[in-house]
Amino acid sequence: MAIRLAVVGLGKIAQDQHLPAIAASADFELVCAASLQGESPRGHTYRAVDAMFAAEPSIEAVSLCQPPQVRFEAARAALLAGKHVLLEKPPGATLSEVVALTELAQEKGLTLFAAWHSRHAPAVTPACHWLEGKTIRSATITWREDVRIWHPGQKWIWQPGGLGVFDPGINALSIATKILPPFHLTEGILSYPSNQAAPIAADLRFATFDGVPVIADFDFRQTGPQTWDIRVETEEGVLLLSKGGSEMRIDGVAQSLPHEAEYPSLYARFAELIAAGESEVDVRPLRHVADAFLRAGHVEVEAFVEEEPGRQTVPA
C-alpha cells in the first residue's frame, strides 16, 4: 500500500522535482497539498497545515518544500499530528530547530528525513567508493551560479535565515561531508551586498583534522558558464565531480555512472526509512554554514538589485 502523502509549499522545487517524483513513485500517493497560492495537482488544496491535518486524517507523511524560515512550525505540527516528515534542504533556519524536531520525531516514533538531494546525485556514491583508502592532498569546491537565473524573485533567500549563497553552497557541503574525512572551518570571508541580509559570496578555508586543506568558493554572481565542481587531489590520482555530482572524472577520464535521478532516489530513501521506523538527520552541512556565520569575516559589496518581472529597463 502506497504511503499517503501531502506536500506543503508548491514553489519551484515542489513543481520541478517533488510532484513528478511522487507521481512516478509506487511508494507514495499524493493526497492533497497545503499552499498559500498554488493548487494541488491531486486532491484538495488547503491554505494552512493544521486545517489540512484536521480535514485529512488519512495523511501519513508530508514533504515540506517551503523556504527554511517557515518550515519549523509546519514540521512540528506534522509530527504532533503523527505524520512522518521529509524536510527539504536546509533542514532548518537554525540548528536548534533541527535538534528539537529530531527529538520530537524520536519521542513520537516517527520518521524525520532531513533530505540532502545532492547526495543522491549519481556520482556521489561512486566517488565515496573511489576515495576509500586513498590519501587526500587537497579538496577544492567551486560552486558558482547566477542567482538571477536560478533564484528569480526568491526574496526569502536574501532575508535572515535564507542563507544567500549558502542555499546552493550547502548542497556542495552535503556532498563534501559525505565523500571527505571530517573537516572544520579555519577562516573565511562572507561578502554581503550593501542592501541584503545574506551573503552573495563566500570564500572559505577548511582543514581536515590532519591538516589537509579543503577550500570552498561559493559565488552567486557567476555569469556565462556555471560551475558546480568538487576536485579532490589524492596521491593516487585526481577526482573531479562536476555539474553538482552528476558527472565524475578520474585523472580527466569520464566515468560511467548509474542512471540515478536525485528526487526519485530521495523518495525511495524516505519510504525505506518509514518502513524501517528510522530517521535520518545529518546536520553537518548546516553546521558548517553556521560555523561560517560564526567564524568568517564580513565585507560589504555592491548592492544586489533584482528587477521586478515586467519592469525590465529597455536598453537605450
Binding window for ligand NAP (CB under 6 A); candidates: 59-67, 202-210, 224-232, 297-305: 59-67
Binding window for ligand NAP (CB under 6 A); candidates: 11-19, 127-135, 242-250, 291-299: 11-19
Nearer to ligand NAP, 42 or 249 (CB): 42
Please pick, among 89, 155, 178, 243, the residue that the annotation labels catalytic.
Answer: 89
Q: What order do you get walking across the sheet with 213-219 strand by strand?
A: 253-254, 247-250, 237-242, 227-234, 136-144, 213-219, 201-208, 183-193, 297-301
Contact between 51 and ligand NAP (CB under 6 A)? Answer: no
Contact between 13 and ligand NAP (CB under 6 A)? Answer: yes
Strand, coil or helix: what is 44?
coil
CA distance 79 to 106: 10
CA distance 149 to 155: 14
Task: Choose among 199, 219, 69, 90: nearest CA to 142.
Answer: 219
* 208 close to 180: Cβ distance less than 8 angstroms: yes
Q: In the window 181-210, what residues touch ligand NAP (CB under 6 A)?
A: none
CA distance 89 to 115: 6
Binding window for ligand NAP (CB under 6 A); candidates: 4-12, 186-194, 235-243, 294-302: 4-12
Q: How many residues bind ligand NAP (CB under 6 A)?
A: 21
Task: State in angstroms the smallest separation of the CB of 285 from ligand NAP.
Answer: 12
Contact between 48 and ligand NAP (CB under 6 A)? Answer: no
Nearer to ligand NAP, 13 or 95 (CB): 13
Task: State in angstroms the smallest separation of the CB of 41 from ligand NAP.
Answer: 12
Task: Mark out the alpha helices in the chain (DSSP H runs).
Answer: 12-13, 19-23, 49-55, 71-80, 95-108, 124-131, 147-150, 166-179, 262-276, 284-295
Task: State in angstroms the smallest separation of the CB of 66 from ligand NAP.
Answer: 4
- What proportions of the chain, in percent to the nearest 5, are helix, strand and coil? 35, 30, 35
Active site residue 89: yes
The binding track of 81-110 with respect to ligand NAP, each residue x by CB under 6 A or -, is -------xx---------------------
Q: Which residues contact 81 (CB under 8 A, 6 or more apart)?
A: 53
Contact between 156 and ligand NAP (CB under 6 A)? Answer: yes
Supply the residues annotated as catalytic. Answer: 89
Please report, as ranges, the residues that interact with ligand NAP according to CB under 6 A. Answer: 9-14, 35-38, 65-68, 70, 88-89, 117, 154, 156, 167
